[in-house]
Structure 1
Amino acid sequence: MSDGKRAAVLGSPIAHSLSPVLHRAAYAELGLTDWTYDRFEVDEEGIGPFLSGLGEDWAGLSLTMPLKRAVIPFLHEVSETAAAVEAVNTVVFTDDGRRLGDNTDIPGMVAALRERGVERVERAAILGAGATASSALAALSRICTGEVTAYVRSEARAAEMRGWGARLGVPVRTADWSDAQQALSAPLVIATTPAGTTDALAPAVPEHPGTLFDVLYDPWPTPLAAAWSDRGASVVGGLDLLVHQAVLQVEQMTGCSPAPLAAMRKAGESALTQ
């Protein structure tokens, strides 16, 4: 048993979030029967007031778009990992009322890849240049020994990715999205784009591709992921990322380690099939 605590996921839109399913499954498995985990629709303007209204019974928060950067001014401390990409997806409340920000997406990506046997790659390609792409770059800074090529739609995005690369110590080359087919020959391809964006690339998957990490989980599989699997190659999906980053959140918020990865994944898979 435990002294009941509260946690939640915040963002906008938030109705689709699988986080409550994953965290509640963890609480059940860990015997934290009086812990609760909810979801709240909160935008950039609402994050400050929301935080100031929380009581001592709160353990932590998961954050999704558009709050990962907006929350930073309201935190007492931000981890090196989160500061590297200016994105916080986890807030933990200490007993003395401090708010600590972290980013579990980055180690979550590394863990999801490691689970599929990808410990080290010589080069990689990233499709897209949004917030998830910067987290992907940070993850690659830990496992990629060579160049990362980012395929983007604008020079502004390209400059941004090169800037992230410089900050993270990753050599980044940028290429225009019209050449995105070339990405598919990299030993590791990380697709960070919205649903439908990579569909046209599916017929161009090479005969012997490397590993694909597609951060989407609904709908799943994406046409690109399906084509990759048809080649018999390794695919890491968005649910893998979601579960691994949530495992780290549960451990930080509850102090219980290890969090029940298998139970959380099973709950996520069950929710997606319904």
Structure 2
Amino acid sequence: MGADGGPVGPEGPRSAAVLGHPVDHSLSPVLHGAAYRALGLAGWTYERIDCDEAMLPAVVDDSPGHRIGYSVTMPGKFAALEHASVVSERARIVGSANTLVRRNGGWFADCTDVDGVTGALAAFGDLPASPSAVVLGVGGTARPVLAGLADMGATQVVLASRRDNSGPAADCGRELGLEVTTVLLGDASLPAAIADADVLVNTVPEPGIRELVDLVSRSHRLFDVLYDPWPTAAGAVAAAAGIPVVGGDVMLLNQAFGQVELFTGLPAPRDEMAAALAEALGR
């Protein structure tokens, strides 16, 4: 650990890992491994650890001395936030953490998923300064999406859910300063809302989104947080209609940039990480 209590610098072997269940599919080792090689961090390693939310506190507490941080995927993001000794403001508002960094004898929690969202939205290249959005789904990913939209200058968001369970996500959006309207996915007003919005964001997993792809054709831009297999059901419809599409791989890449910088204290080697992810996805 550095003298200021921040992340350990590039000197000496260090390790990080991704926690999740299941975790075999995680591409985080590809991204972080490419970063460490590009940064010349000899001896730095990154591994996968199969760990559910109940196991997470014990795994983190038993971390070896060389372990500088963790990427956290589902289902452990809520447990990671609760277990941290210090929490970033955005992680508190979103209510989950995808990043744990060893600091001052404890663990700092952050949500770089928000950076993933802003990076994905920026990839369109032509979003207005205050974009309006419709978000399909109100699960755990919807809240970082709302935070990313707020960071991009959005002020109005429509949240569409299958059931009347949008309250926590809507409360998160309002704390972020967004004007949030909630509707059901079957609401007659939703197609017009999508047509009026600058961007449609899909957080509904497949196969659920397959029942809703008719909505996609009404959008001006689609950001689908899913990415594998690609194209997704929604992405295929958008591409066929000539609608600009950004996939969840762009979110994955951009959230990893922030993690690498928190772990190493160095600027993320973005080009090398992007090339490694493209190779891993066969794109």
The question of a shared fold, defined as TM-score above 0.5 by the shorter chain, is answered with yes
Aligned residue pairs total 270
> What are the within-5 Å matches in structure 2 for residues 116-135 of structure 1?
116-117=124-125, 118=127, 120-135=129-144
Which residue matches 2:74? 65
Q: Which amino acid in structure 2 is aligned with residue 102 of structure 1?
A: D
Amino acid at match of 1:133: A
Partner SS for 2:155? coil
* 2:201 is the counterpart of 1:190: yes
TM-score (norm 2): 0.89
Aligned-partner residue type, residue 233 of structure 1: I
2:166 aligned to which of 158, 161, 167: 158
Identical counterparts, % of pairs: 38
Cα shift readout 1:107-133 (whole Å, capped 9, x = no counterpart): 221122123213634411000000100
Is the Cα–Cα contact under 8 Å of residues 216 and 222 in structure 2 kept in the other structure? no
Q: Which amino acid aligns with 1:34?
A: G
Distance (Å, rounded) in 1 between the aligned partners of 2:67 and 2:193: 44
Q: Report the CA distance between 1:158 and its aligned residue.
A: 2.2
> C-alpha deviations, 1:38-91, integer Å up to 9, x for none?
010111211111111112211110001111111223211000110111111111
- Deviations, residues 183-226 of structure 1 (Å, cap 9, x unaligned): 5422111101112222233345447x422110011111112112
Task: Tell me if the contact between 1:121 and 1:188 (Cα under 8 Å) persists in the aligned partners.
Answer: no
Helix, strand or coil: the match of 2:134? strand
AA aligned to 1:42 is: C
The equivalent residue for 2:262 is 252
Which residue pairs with 2:224 in the alignment?
214
Mapped contact 2:80–2:98 kept (Cα < 8 A): no
**Alignment partner, residue 169 of structure 1:** 177
Does 2:244 align with 1:234? yes
- Counterpart CA distance in 2 for 1:236 and 1:79 is 27
Which one-letter code corresponds to 1:199 in the other structure?
R
TM-score, normalised relative to structure 1 = 0.92
Gaps of 5+ in 1: none
Code of the aligned partner of 1:189: L
> 2:211 matched to which residue of 1?
200
Tell me the CA shift for residue 268 of structure 1: 1.4
User: 1:11 aligns to what?
Assistant: 20
Task: Read off the aligned partner of 2:245 and give its amino acid letter.
Answer: V
Distance 1:238 1:83 in 2: 23
From 60, 66, 82, the counterpart of 1:51: 60
Q: AA paired with 2:209?
A: T
Residue 107, structure 1, aligned to residue 118, structure 2: no
Bigger mean CA offset, 143-152 vs 76-85 = 143-152
1:65 and 1:194 map into 2 onto residues whose CA distance is 14
User: 2: distance between equivalents of 1:22 and 1:11?
Assistant: 16
Contact preservation (8 Å) 1:124, 1:144: no
Distance 1:126 1:269 in 2: 26
Partner deviation per Cα, 1:3-28 (whole Å, 9 max, x = no partner): 11010000111111111111101111
Deviation at 1:239, TM superposition (A): 0.5
Cα contact 1:88–1:103 (8 A) shared by 2: yes
Report how far residue 151 of structure 1 moved. Answer: 0.8
| 1:168-192 alpha-carbon deviations (Å, 9 max, x no partner) | 2211111111135445422111101
- The runs of 5 or more residues in structure 2 that have no matched partner are 1-9
The partner residue of 2:234 within 202, 214, 224 is: 224
Q: Which has the higher helix share?
A: 1
